[in-house]
Structure 1
């Protein structure tokens, strides 16, 4: 246990100061500390599957939209800790709103997108991203016998 956490539990003056700092700075800091969830995309045949880590987020608080050729994922992780919780000294968990945006190929619309949420991971499938993108070999003609 760190000296800081021991002191905050024993010293009422420190706890009062800490509460004052949290009440004045926390609202502004909370806006800055909104988070960006980790994401990865993988190819699955002609489709792309985008996965985003959203642990602790109610799936009803997540929005997946197609807006002018972009896939937009937004939501919020709500801080459900009790107000005035004197036992919490360190938190590495980010709370607040998030918004991620990913470009979509021009030939795809909202019908190509489906989403599912399972155990804290949002999976978004974008169907047909790679359809028709396989390379085609072009034969190169021998120009030695051609006439101009």
Structure 2
């Protein structure tokens, strides 16, 4: 019976790979990589069902190697919010940084050329592409006071924070209902 289904094209396809390899992968994955995986999975489902995918969409046209997004770290240093972006192989003049009250936009061009000549053969590789990364900012960050430095493939953007943005600790009292107080009192009596 299963062989008949295979011959007629009705056999159930085994998934090519698990969507998430382990439960812990979900915690470590970025929201954008998860969205990309969901998009890839939906593309596969549409392709299986209708015989074509949505790879004709502009952002899907580029091979995955060309869809590079720089890794960033966002943290506080003193009275400033710091954004560090890894931009290996990118020249400072090929990077543009814009700041608004909503966030920081980092965009630029990557150009990688590699030539090798040895033992009678010549190899030349060129990769070009653009990247774009938007980092939302919390309220109270002043984009007009932003500064940026680029050194050894690392872009660092520093934004001053207002007084309201700075961490303020407040102890919050926990309220307990009368029923919980009575239950706790009975438990103490039982232990004694």
- Do Structure 1 and Structure 2 share a fold, with TM-score over 0.5? yes
1:44 lines up with 2:74 in the alignment = no
In structure 2, C-alpha distance between the alignment counterparts of 1:45 and 1:68, rounded to whole Å: 20
Task: Give the superposition deviation at 1:116.
Answer: 0.2
Unpaired runs of 5+ in structure 2? 1-60, 116-120, 175-192
Instruction: Tell me the C-alpha RMSD between the 2 structures.
Output: 3.3
1:132 lines up with 2:130 in the alignment = no
Which structure would you say has the larger RCO, counting Cα contacts within 8 Å and 6 or more residues apart? Answer: 1
Alignment partner of 1:105: what SS? coil
Higher helix share: 2
In structure 2, C-alpha distance between the alignment counterparts of 1:97 and 1:115, rounded to whole Å: 20
Q: Is the 8 A contact 1:71 1:102 kept in 2?
A: yes
1:75 lines up with 2:111 in the alignment = no
Moved over 6 A (4+): none
Q: Is the 8 A contact 1:117 1:123 kept in 2?
A: yes
Q: Is the 8 A contact 1:36 1:100 kept in 2?
A: yes
State the TM-score, normalized to the length of structure 1: 0.58
- Per-residue CA deviation, residues 8-50 of structure 1 (Å, 9 max, x unaligned), is xxxxxxxxxxxxxxxxxxxx64687131112112321232211
Task: Give the superposition deviation at 1:113.
Answer: 1.6
In structure 1, C-alpha distance between the alignment counterparts of 2:86 and 2:166, rounded to whole Å: 30
In structure 2, C-alpha distance between the alignment counterparts of 1:108 and 1:33, rounded to whole Å: 32
Mapping of residues 100-115 of structure 1, within 5 Å:
100-115=133-148
Unpaired runs of 5+ in structure 1? 1-27, 141-148
Q: How many residues align?
A: 109
